[in-house]
Amino acid sequence: MNRKPHVAVVGATGAVGLEMIQTLEKRRFPVGQLTLLASARSAGKKLSFADSPVPVQELTRESFTGIDIALFSAGGSISKEFAPLAARAGCVVIDNSSAFRMDPAVPLVIPEINGADAKQHRGIIANPNCTTAVTLMALYPLHQAFQVRRIFASSYQAVSGTGAKAIEELQRQVGEIVAGKPATLDVYPHQIAFNVLPQVDSFLPTGYTKEEMKMENEGRKIMHHPTFRASVTCVRVPVYRAHSVAVSAEFERPVTVEAARAVLAKAPGLDVVDNPEAREYPLPLHVAGKDNCQVGRLRQDCALENGLCFWVVGDQLLKGAALNAVQIAELLLP
Ligand SMILES: NC(=O)c1ccc[n+]([C@@H]2O[C@H](COP(=O)([O-])OP(=O)(O)OC[C@H]3O[C@@H](n4cnc5c(N)ncnc54)[C@H](OP(=O)(O)O)[C@@H]3O)[C@@H](O)[C@H]2O)c1
């Protein structure tokens, strides 16, 4: 790998793509050259990187010549079509979509957990699902200490997880409702303003959604824990940014709140915010824009043996997407 790689961002104009550009800048990633790619709709538009305007180009099959690292966030179908092509052109793809996450030949990486897996790549490395990434930032250190058996969890997922159009939808609906007009629908099947939707992604024959099963499937792969079980209900909430997850975890070994707190206090990329007496606990409003995830509401689970409840919040555009992708890119540097 070049010391100053030529980096491409695919989906540069999207909610994740814009964060990727900012994250490269903020972390002083040694970008030799930056190529921004999106659909024909955005060609010619200029985005700012390191105080200079960079024109957006249309993504084509020829886009990857000379690129060292391509950060993909333009949806699964674009990844399926263009990521193998980019890898064949000699570039390492870090893919944010779900297209390759469960492919046994593709490492699925959270650098704080299984960074070493990135070295096994054959041209494509997958970035995990955002809700899974946020949850594992707290669950994995607990697993190392107490050996997790299974979790029950509910997520409270921000609209920016659906992309730029969903942020506009929440803004528009709030305006419509406050003005006494009916809410117009575009992105979600129901009104999201002043409501919560117990559906994220499409339903499987089991009744779970695809999003809900990512926790178990991706969790097993990332934690190298093939018997990990997760029963999850994913819920979309009218929050702009940062996902929250309420988790009840059952462990093989006895766990106390004090021992769990000591483990979490040392975990990388995680802050413990847990002072209920002072009404201090993680809030999506406080976590939005922050690199670290936050965990709080620690308590012994009253319904499980060796059980612990916690509430973990993370900016899904950062740890669930752009930050994690740039951290993976950092692992590739010489
Ligand atoms: N949002 C999150 O929190 C999050 C977290 C983890 C993973 N992801 C994944 O990241 C991906 C992008 O999500 P997002 O939220 O950033 O979506 P988004 O805001 O809707 O952005 C989509 C991006 O893809 C580009 N695009 C669409 N069609 C294209 C085409 N035919 N050719 C080239 N570029 C095309 C768009 O370009 P134009 O502007 O030109 O249309 C835009 O840059 C998805 O796979 C998503 O599952 C998202």
**What would the pLDDT profile of 112-131 be if each residue is shown by its tens digit?**
999 999 999 999 999 999 99
- In 22-96 the beta strands, taken as DSSP E runs, fall at 33-38, 46-49, 52-58, 69-72, 92-95
Contacts of 74 (CB under 8 A, 6+ apart): 10, 11, 14, 17, 37, 38, 39, 59, 97
What would the mean pLDDT of 267-280 be, rounded to a whole number? 98
CA of 322 relative to ligand 1 center, distance in Å: 12
Confidence of residue 330 (pLDDT cuts 50, 70, 90): very high
Q: Is the CB of 96 under 6 A from ligand 1?
A: yes
CA angle centred on 90, ends 84 and 96, rounded to 5°: 45
Angle between helices 210-223 and 130-146 (to 10 degrees): 40
3-state SS, residue 232: strand
Q: Is the CB of 217 under 6 A from ligand 1?
A: no
Sequence letter at residue 34? L
- pTM equals 0.97
Q: Is the CB of 16 under 6 A from ligand 1?
A: yes
Helices (H), ranges, the chain: 15-26, 76-88, 111-114, 130-146, 164-178, 210-223, 257-265, 284-287, 323-332
Q: Is the CB of 190 under 6 A from ligand 1?
A: no
Nearest CA to ligand 1 atom 21: 14
What would the mean pLDDT of 196-207 be, rounded to a whole number? 98
Q: Is the CB of 59 under 6 A from ligand 1?
A: yes
Ligand 1 atom nearest to 164, measured from its CA: 19
Q: Is the CB of 17 under 6 A from ligand 1?
A: yes
Q: What is the pLDDT of residue 136?
A: 98
Phi, psi of 38 (to 5 degrees): -155, -160
Which amino acids are annotated catalytic? 130, 243
Confidence of residue 1 (pLDDT cuts 50, 70, 90): confident
Residue 30, pLDDT above cutoff 90: yes
Ligand 1 atom nearest to 317, measured from its CA: 3
What would the mean pLDDT of 20-33 be, rounded to a whole number? 98
Among 308, 320, 327, CA closest to 128: 320
Cα 269 to chain centroid, rounded: 14
User: Which of 23, 39, 72, when mutated, tests ligand 1's pocket best, judged by the most ligand atoms within 8 Å of its CB?
Assistant: 39
CA of 166 relative to ligand 1 center, distance in Å: 12
Question: How long, in residues, is the chain?
Answer: 334
Between CA 178 and CA 174 the distance in angstroms is 6
Nearest CA to ligand 1 atom 14: 163
Q: Is the CB of 78 under 6 A from ligand 1?
A: yes
Between CA 95 and CA 83 the distance in angstroms is 8
3-state SS, residue 193: coil
User: Is 38 within 8 Å of 74 (Cβ atoms)?
Assistant: yes
Query: Tens digit of pLDDT for each residue in 146-195?
Result: 999 999 999 999 999 999 999 999 999 999 999 999 999 999 999 999 99
Ligand 1 atom nearest to 56, measured from its CA: 40
Confidence of residue 222 (pLDDT cuts 50, 70, 90): very high
Q: What is the secondary structure of 302-313 as a DSSP string?
A: TTSTTEEEEEEE
Confidence of residue 201 (pLDDT cuts 50, 70, 90): very high
User: Which of 73, 81, 162, 293, when mutated, tests ligand 1's pocket best, judged by the most ligand atoms within 8 Å of its CB?
Assistant: 73
